[in-house]
Amino acid sequence: MERPPCVSIFLVLCVFIQSSANGQSPGLEPVGRRSRVVETKEALQETETRFLLFKEERDKGCQIRLNHPDTLEQCGFNSSLPLVMIIHGWSVDGFLENWIWQMVAALKSQLAQTVNVGLADWLTLAYHHYTMAVRNTRLVGQEVAALIQWLEESAQFSRSKVHLIGYSLGAHVSGFAGSYMGGKHKIGRITGLDAAGPLFEGSSPSDRLSPDDANFVDAIHTFTREHMGLSVGIKQPIAHYDFYPNGGYFQPGCHFLELYKHITKHGLYAITQTIKCSHERSVHLFIDSLLHPSRQSTAYQCGDMGSFSQGLCMSCQKGRCNTMGYHIRQERQGKKHKRLFLVTRPQSPFKVYHYQFKIQFINQLKKPAEPTFTMTLLGTKEENQKITITLDEEITSNKTYSFLITLDVDIGELIMIKFKWENGAVWTNVWNTVQTIIPWSQAPLYSGLVVKTIKVKAGETQQRFLHTINLRKLNCSLLLDTLFLHDFLAHSKSSASDSQ
Ligand SMILES: *[C@@H]1O[C@H](CO)[C@@H](O)[C@H](O)[C@H]1NC(C)=O
Ligand SMILES: *[C@@H]1O[C@H](CO)[C@@H](O)[C@H](O)[C@H]1NC(C)=O
Ligand SMILES: *[C@@H]1O[C@H](CO)[C@@H](O)[C@H](O)[C@H]1NC(C)=O
């Protein structure tokens, strides 16, 4: 779909920020949405929202109309199959965004089980001042609920087969739809893709998407970086599983520096693309999960991104990790939100392989060693060249350093790790060390900087590797290897006890 270059986006964003900064809820009605539940069914004969169904991958959609059963047949609705319905967000230009067609195509072409693919087109209600669009989300939620209720009555369709995928404001529309359904049973699943933050952050669960709205709710947060106290995407957890790729603040490849690259690809439209980049990344991560069934991203439960970056959260025990995107494992344990973290590549396929490293050094140098070195990992499938590591602090003895490493490719089982120190301080010491060693080959047995133990845990396979140097067996030639060749063989794979 062609769109005019949208240069007014800056202006629009300013309005967006201003109007939301004025106070918590100029747009939100005080009435709890649950108080108005079933009235929708009788009242609604026509909907403002256009509901489209897609028969083919490259189809522009066929409109189904509430209370017109013939349209279901015309549009090829099959009530024995699930219904996946896409719900877009706030519109700044009155056009459907391109990702919608990409998602339709992916849902139509990539799934083993055929599904009905639909779109709730609420552009006429979304192409407004932000606060107005926010106010309209409830109405659209009602209309979506009315459609599902009508499908139940007229086509014996079960609401448990409904999966709503809402982006930005559409995520909250999905939540409202779920809660307006009423009755004992909920709809099957809601996926919130970077659910909108302004006017929703901090509000009560009934005023935004929440885990109460469906049997299973998952959310991907991609643009929660604050600007003047507000973030485009909601920061707080709103689902059973909340995914925070790269911490959720901002996404790799979305910096203004990348603008030139985007301009060659999208023309002037790149300006809009760059601004929306992190927000819309949630959508592309989801589409990616459909397009690359064999490259599913795993995310790990963790307190925050800081701990995750130290590699402290590589556990999959007791449901602590899950797959991000369409193929998520739909299990719920307790009422608590689970916050999951992962690193991604800047473009599709987004998957990386996560490794936790825990290293203990013995440093017999007179002073702490520089915390910067490179590692090369050799696996059964591939070798990964030179990853530069900078630890938070200088290296001293007997301290365990924990950090996270991510690789773009699957190197298979880890066979060997090579370390290399390239900074001057260690180098000058090496010669001193060597000189020290040679005259006293008996004792001391070691000197300089030596890796004492190394533990590696691979997140994706949950395999653990451990290597410990036996200091008593450490002889000169091994020591020289370690220091001089800067190579270190960490072959011995074992199932070490802990790694948390
Ligand atoms: C509906 O889907 C079911 C299950 O895939 C299939 O057996 C059936 O033929 C479909 N009905 C129509 C009318 O296409
Ligand atoms: C490190 O541990 C070894 C024994 O494991 C001990 O002999 C040595 O004194 C310790 N070094 C420091 C600096 O604590
Ligand atoms: C020292 O270590 C090397 C390599 O591990 C080994 O080949 C050599 O036999 C060892 N020498 C002694 C004296 O233990």
pLDDT average, residue stretch 9-19: 37
User: Are 330 and 360 contained in the same domain?
Assistant: no
Torsion of CA 231, 235, 238, 239, to 10 degrees: 120
Mean pLDDT of 377-393: 83
> Residue of the nearest CA to atom 7 in ligand 2?
398
Position in ligand 2 atom list of the atom nearest CA 396: 13
Closest ligand to the CA of 479: 3
Q: Please check whether residue 500 lies inside any domain of the structure.
A: no
- Read off the pLDDT of residues 393-404 as tens digits, 9 standing for 90 and up: 888 877 889 999
424: pLDDT strictly greater than 70: no
Distance CA 472, CA 171 (A): 61
Alpha carbon separation from 14 to 88, 90, 423 (Å, rounded): 21, 15, 47
282 with 391, same domain: the answer is: no
Please indicate whether residue 25 or residue 384 has the higher confidence score (pLDDT). Answer: 384
Nearest atom (ligand 2) to Cα of 362: 1
Q: Are residues 224 and 308 in the same domain?
A: yes
Nearest-ligand number for the alpha carbon of 77: 1
Residue 242 falls inside a structural domain = yes
The pLDDT value recorded for residue 227 is 81
Residues 416 and 322 in one domain: no
Bridge-based pairing state of the strands 353-363 and 372-379: unpaired
d(CA 244, CA 240): 13
In a domain, 161, yes or no: yes
CATH of the domain at 159: 3.40.50.1820
Q: Is the pTM of this model over 0.85?
A: no
Average pLDDT over residues 116-142: 96
Give me the percent of the chain exceeding a pLDDT of 90: 55
- On the question of pLDDT at 473 being above 50, the answer is no
Shared domain check, 209 and 143: yes
Q: How many whole angstroms from 449 Cα to the centroid of ligand 2?
A: 13
Statement to judge: residues 142 and 217 lie in one domain: yes
**pLDDT band with cut points at 50, 70 and 90 for residue 378:** confident
Same domain (yes/no): 322, 357 = no
- What is the model's pLDDT at position 446? 46
Domain extent at residue 379? 353-491
CA distance readout (Å), 173 to 53, 136, 167, 279? 18, 9, 9, 17
Question: Does 192 map to a domain?
Answer: yes
pLDDT exceeds cutoff 70 at 449:
no
Q: CA-to-CA distance for 91 and 20, rounded, in angstroms?
A: 16
Q: Measure the CA–CA gap between 255 and 227, rounded to whole angstroms.
A: 15
- How far, in Å, is the centroid of ligand 1 from the Cα of 181? 26
**297/434 same-domain check:** no
The residue among 249 and 5 whose pLDDT is bigger is 249
User: Which ligand lies nearest to the CA atom of residue 76 in the structure?
Assistant: 1
Task: Report the distance separating Cα 416 and Cα 379, nearest Å.
Answer: 7
The answer, yes or no, to whether residue 84 has pLDDT greater than 80, is: yes
Q: Is residue 496 part of a domain?
A: no
What is the pLDDT of the chain when averaged over all its residues?
Answer: 80
What confidence score (pLDDT) does residue 474 get? Answer: 45
347 falls within a domain: no
- Residue 424 sits in a domain of what CATH number? 2.60.60.20
List the beta bridge partners of residue 358: 402, 455
> How sure is the predictor about 468, in pLDDT bands with cuts at 50, 70 and 90?
low
Query: Where would I find the beta strands (DSSP E) of 29-159?
Result: 50-54, 62-64, 83-87, 116-121
Q: What is the mean pLDDT of residues 458-482?
A: 62
| Ligand 1 first shell, C-beta below 6 A | 78, 80-81, 114
C-alpha to C-alpha distance for 34 and 376, rounded to whole angstroms: 57
DSSP 3-state assignment of 375? Answer: strand
Residues labelled catalytic: 168, 194, 279
Whole-angstrom distance, CA of residue 242 vs CA of residue 340: 6
Confidence at residue 33, expressed as pLDDT on a 0 to 100 scale: 41
Total count of domains within the chain = 2
Q: Is residue 295 assigned to a domain?
A: yes
User: Could you say which of 280, 313, 342 is where a domain stops?
Assistant: 342
Task: Give the domain-ending residue among 291, 312, 342.
Answer: 342
| pLDDT value for 315 | 94
- Percent of the chain at pLDDT above 70? 73
Q: Find the mean pLDDT for residues 146-163.
A: 96
Q: Of 389 and 341, which is predicted with more confidence?
A: 341
Q: What is the pLDDT of residue 153?
A: 94
What's the pLDDT at 396? 80
Does ligand 2 have an atom closer than 6 angstroms to the CB of 398?
Answer: yes
419 and 314 housed in the same domain: no
475 CB near ligand 3 (under 6 Å) = yes
Query: Is the beta carbon of 453 within 6 A of some atom in ligand 2?
Result: no
Q: 375 CA distance to ligand 3 centroid (A)?
A: 24
- Is ligand 3 within 6 A of the CB of residue 477? yes
Beta strands 83-87; 116-121: pairing state: parallel
User: 481 pLDDT band (50/70/90 cuts)?
Assistant: very low
Same-domain check for residues 189 and 74 = yes
Confirm whether 498 is domain-assigned: no
Token pair belonging to 372: 């910067």
pLDDT at 255: 80
109 pLDDT exceeds 50?
yes
Cβ neighbours for 147, distance < 8 A, ≥ 6 positions apart? 47, 51, 64, 66
- Are both 49 and 112 inside the same structural domain? yes
What tens digit of pLDDT does each residue of 19-58 get?
333 333 333 443 334 444 444 445 577 889 999 999 988 8
Question: What is the mean predicted confidence (pLDDT) over 436-463?
Answer: 65
**Which residue did the predictor score with more confidence, 134 or 254?**
134
258 and 364, same domain (yes or no): no
- Lowest-confidence segment of 240-249, 281-290, 378-387 by average pLDDT: 378-387
Greater confidence, 388 or 199? 199
pLDDT at position 92: 87
> Does residue 17 register a pLDDT over 60?
no
What is the average pLDDT across 362-375?
74
Residue 435 has pLDDT above 60, yes or no: no
Q: With 50 as the cut, is the pLDDT of residue 244 above it?
A: yes
Tokens in use for 324?
């991000």
Q: Which of 289, 310, 342 corresponds to the end of one domain?
A: 342
